Amino acid sequence: MIKYDNVSLTCPVNGKILDGLNFEIDEGEFFVLIGPSGSGKTTTLKLINRLIEQTDGDIFFQDEKLNNFDIRELRLETGYVLQQIALFPNLTVEENIALIPEMKKMDKTFIEQKTRALLEKVGLEPEQYLKRLPKDLSGGEKQRIGILRAIISNPKVLLMDEPFSALDPISRTQLQDLIKQLHKEYNMTTVFVTHDMNEALKLADRICIMKNGKIVQLDTPQEIKNNPANDFVKEFFSMKEV
C-alpha cells in the first residue's frame, strides 16, 4: 500500500538524515518504527503526509507516486496522532472530533452518531464529554480524543508518532489495548513510532528498527525476538526504553 523506493533525505546542514530506505507497508498492517533518538523515525513518518519531502527516491501510495497527490486530499486521508495532542482549545470535544469529517462533507447526523459511538467505545460517557473543552480533560482523555479525531473519517492511513509516551504507565497500557482493539476492528493501515520495544512487540505486525537513517532490521516481532540481526537489536531487548 505504501512503498519506499530508495528514499533518502539529505540536508545541507546535517547531511544524510535518511539513507536509502526500501520497504513496503501492507494494506491493514500495523507497522512500527523503532530506534534511538535522532535515528529518523519521525522524518520517515512525515514523508507519508508530506510534511517533509525526500530528496531522493520515490514513495508510492496505492501504486501512485505520492508527489502526484493533492496535498489537502492526502492530509484528509492520513490521520495523524502526536505525542502531545493539539486539540483546538476553544472548540469542545464534539467540535474537535467533527472538524475533519465536516471538511470531508460527511453527513452531520452521521458524524453526531459516530462521535457518540466512538466516545462510548473508548470509555468516555458522551453526555459528560461532548461539550467539554480540552482544558478540562486529563492527558489520557486528550489522547483518546486525538485518536478518535484521527480515525472518525476513516482515513486510509493512520500515522502515530509516540502517541502514548507522555502518559503514565496505566493510561499507556489502556491506550495500547484500545488501539489494538480499534485496529482489529477497523483494520486501518497504521504506522506507529515508538522508543519502547515492549510497546512495539505488543502492537506490531512488523517492526522496523532504524539507526542513523537506515533500516537495521525489518521483521515480525517473533522473528526479531528469535533472530536479532546484531548486537544493536539485541540491546533493545535488554532496555525497557531507549
Question: For residue 107, what are the CA distances in angstroms to 73, 75, 88, 110, 212?
Answer: 18, 20, 22, 5, 46
The footprint of Mg ion on residues 107-136 (CB under 5 A) is none
Among Mg ion, ligand ATP, none, the one that 87 touches (CB under a kind-dependent 5 to 8 A) is none
Among ligand ATP, Mg ion, none, partner that 39 touches (CB below 5 to 8 angstroms by kind): ligand ATP
User: Nearest-CA neighbor of 64 among 5, 151, 150?
Assistant: 5
Q: How far apart are CA 230 and CA 203, in angstroms?
A: 22
Which of 14, 138 has the CB closer to ligand ATP?
14
Residue 38 binds ligand ATP, judged by CB under 6 A: yes
Check binding of 37 to ligand ATP (CB under 6 A): yes
Contact status: 78 vs Mg ion (CB under 5 A): no
Closest CA to 214 of 239, 228, 232, 202: 232
Report the relative pairing of strands 15-25 and 214-219 from DSSP bridges. Answer: unpaired
Q: Is 12 in the site for ligand ATP (CB under 6 A)?
A: no
Taking the C-alpha atoms of residue 166 and residue 211, their distance in angstroms, rounded to an integer, is 23
The strands making up 2-11's β-sheet, listed across from edge to edge, are: 15-25, 2-11, 56-61, 64-65
Cβ 47 to Mg ion, closest distance in Å? 13
42 makes contact with Mg ion (CB under 5 A): yes
- Using CB under 5 A as the binding rule, whether residue 49 contacts Mg ion is answered as no
Does residue number 42 form part of the binding site for ligand ATP (CB under 6 A)? yes
User: Left (φ > 0), alpha (ψ -120 to 50) or beta: where does 220 sit?
Assistant: beta
The answer to whether 194 contacts ligand ATP (rule: CB under 6 A) is: no
- Positions in the binding site for ligand ATP (CB under 6 A): 11, 13-14, 17, 35, 37-43, 195
Name the residues that contact Mg ion, by CB under 5 A.
42
